[in-house]
Amino acid sequence: MAVNITNGPDVCLHAEKISKIYPGTKALDEVSFNVYKGKVNVLIGENGAGKSTLMKIIAGIEQESEGELFMGEEKVHFDDVTEAREHGIGIIHQELNLFPNLAVYQNIFMAKERKKGTVGLDNEYHVKETKRIMEKLQHPIDPYTIVGDLRVGQQQMIEIARNLIQDDLKILIMDEPTSSLSEQEVQVLFKIMRELTAEGISIVYISHRLEEIMQIGDYVTVLRDGKLVDSAAVKDIDISWIVQKMVGKGKSYPKRAGNIDWSKRETVLEVKDLSLPKKGGGWLLDKVSFQLKKGEILGIYGLMGAGRTEIFECIMGLRPEHTGEVILNGETLKINSITEQIDRGFALIPEDRQREGLVQTMDIGKNLSLSSLKNYAKGIFLKSNEEESNIDKIIDEIHIKVADKRLPILSLSGGNQQKVVIGKGIMTNPKILLLDEPSRGIDIGAKTDVFEIMNHFADAGLSLLVVSSELEEIKSIADRIIVLSNGIKTAELAGDEITEDRLVMASYEGHNSGKKN
């Protein structure tokens, strides 16, 4: 089953026993790795397994401590990104590296500008090429659009486009490119990847989504704790093989109990005809209505831009221009500010952990208590003891792995950082928890933990609204799912009605009806 990792003619880049030693820790321990020519080479492992470190060494961002890299028979070593790029290696980072203040074409041609005369920019060429490449990517975005105005998924496409204009691209490294894409966008990306490999470009692909790997991968290499676990051709293996190699034991998402009669439960939240106008006409949300019961987990599924996040924004008071009714425990709310909504018992776990969830300069404890600080105030002073004990309690309750709560927040792994953001919401003693893509960019182990936390609090009587674009996840975690498409609610499914087919079908329906109108 396993393949032998040796250099050969079908290998584009061969890494021989690479080690990377950081002060006090070994991030990579004699890992060998092959990038096969014209293939999709998948690299997988939990967070902290050393995937990103290995990729950074291949892309010249970091340098190996021991071991050797070969391209063909030639031994290579990259001191920086430019040297790696000269050898035809490009990388797309998990965190986007774009210039939000500049236009699409400027982003794509940054540091690769074509000149007209000695100093002038050949923007005509830049715009023309941008159009061509965006069309190839099936995202015909206007080259003059400012990147900051684009959705995350679209920005990802720009990041890919930047690498594609490199003429002599041999190897393209993609670090979790799909974590912010919708199902539809993922399929487009896969098509593009197939086109690239057909042109002889080798792809190194890092992902946490196992089904994707089975669909797109040719070879898979599993890392764990900085060591090479195994390597195989995808055609010879199945998902359970990967999972077993990754975690050492079988794991699956916790499933919700299906035998509760929700009609007897009290309704905590009711949203009626929620509408949100779009800039320049049309609707981001078009008369969306739903109910949320006590102790229920209601999933919201839809493609990028379907209006999922916007529902949360309306409820939290970030979109004062919305219309429609939000009824909490029978009382119609006048929504003024997010602070007031938090006081009323809503808590938001935002989608983008780094940009919207954490305060990077503060320690773990303060990040946890940030939303609930005023509960610990006596006059103007903080009752530190009470604050501390509540922080300890929540760390214990949701199993955040911390050595010391006074350590910087960035000393935690992605999964534990996410738990901190969730913990911050829970510390406000909410009645309703709004989670926007709570499992984005965290490994399988941490995902399972996050879902267990959600189940735990639902069982304790909290009501949860969860946005997710991963079918497998939303199917297992939600009691009921509403599907949004183009701002319209196209389906509401419960129990056995929840099937992948129906979810996907419903997620496209809004676009059809939109055309008819």
- In the complex, which residues of this chain contact another protein (CB under 8 A)? 22-25, 27, 46-48, 225, 316, 337-339, 342-343, 348, 350, 355-362, 366, 370-371, 373-374, 376-377, 380-382, 384, 401, 403, 407-408, 410-413, 415, 424, 428, 445-446
Burial, 404: exposed, middle or buried (Cβ in 10 Å; 0-12, 13-18, 19+)? exposed
- Return the number of the residue (135 or 149) whose C-beta is nearest another protein: 149
- Pair 353, 437: CB distance under 8 Å: no
Q: How far is the CB of 73 from another protein (least distance, A)?
A: 34
Report, in Å, the least distance between residue 354 CB and another protein: 8
* Minimum distance, C-beta of residue 442 to another protein, in the bound complex (Å): 11
For the bound state, the minimum distance from the C-beta of residue 455 to another protein, rounded and expressed in Å, comes to 20
Q: Which is nearer to another protein, 98 or 141 (CB)?
A: 98
- The answer to whether 94 and 52 are in contact (CB under 8 A) is yes
Secondary structure (H, E, C), 362-430: CEHHHHHHHHHHHHHEECCEECHHHHHHHHHHHHHHCCCCCCCCCCEHHHCCHHHHHHHHHHHHHCCCC
Cα within 13 Å of Cα(224), Cβ side: 14
Q: In the complex with another protein, which residue's Cβ is closer, 318 or 494?
A: 318
Nearer to another protein, 6 or 354 (CB): 354
Q: How far apart are CA 492 and CA 469, in angstroms?
A: 16
Nearest alpha carbon to residue 417 among 428, 429, 406, 408: 408
CB of 404: closest distance to another protein in angstroms? 9
Does residue 509 sit in helix, strand or coil?
helix
> What is the Cα–Cα distance from 322 to 310, expressed in whole angstroms?
10
Spatial separation of the C-alpha atoms in residues 221 and 178, rounded to whole Å: 19
- Considering beta carbons, is residue 361 or 513 the nearer one to another protein? 361
Q: Please, which residue, 33 or 376, has the CB nearer to another protein?
A: 376
Q: What one-letter code names the amino acid at 92?
A: I
What are φ and ψ of residue 331, in 5° steps?
A: -110, 125
Determine the Cα–Cα distance for residues 203 and 55; give it in Å rounded to an integer.
12
Rank residues 384 and 517 by Cβ distance to another protein and give the closer one: 384
Our CB check for another protein shows the closer of 9 and 250 to be 250
191 phi, psi to nearest 5 deg: -60, -45
Q: Minimal distance in Å, beta carbon 359 to another protein?
A: 4
CB of 152 to another protein, least distance (A): 15
Q: Which is nearer to another protein, 175 or 479 (CB)?
A: 175
Q: How far is the CB of 189 from another protein (least distance, A)?
A: 28
| Residue pair 260/245 in contact by the 8 Å Cβ criterion | no
Q: What is the residue type of 236? A: D
